[in-house]
Amino acid sequence: MKIGTPIEEMLKYLVPEYDDRNIALVVKGGPMMGTIVEPLSASIDKGTGGLMLLPQINQKIENCIGCGYCVEVCPQRLMPLEFIQQTSNSNIPHLSKYNVDDCIECAACEYICPSEIPLISHIRRGKQLISMLKKGKND
């Protein structure tokens, strides 16, 4: 496919039984560092190494069971389970205390989580809260 081809058109060409109702997510890149493609009208660029299609699965997100697997696999030795609690409470001082800015967003914590909690989205939200606070102090 040529650079600039819409991802949706490429999927229709490559996957004859493609139906956007059966695909939950399209990830550009790999399972660990890839980014979710939204909307599918986005185009292929020169950095696109591959696309990963994730099927629609009906599942519910469970509460954290406190297993600590996310802490064990974190290459930065962070505590992702704390990010969830502090982000949901918008507790910015504690987010800074647990060094959410040091997260490299490798998604190892989200991958290993038996409760399937979307940890990376909480981490990104925490980083946004901290950057908004820093901007507010600098103004």
Q: pLDDT by residue (tens digit) across 111-128?
A: 898 888 888 888 888 888
CB atoms within 10 A of CB 139: 5
CA distance readout (Å), 45 to 1, 20, 23, 135: 10, 21, 21, 32
Indicate whether 5 pLDDT > 60: yes
Is the overall model pTM greater than 0.75, yes or no?
no
Find the helix or strand (DSSP H, E) in which 55 lies: strand 51-55
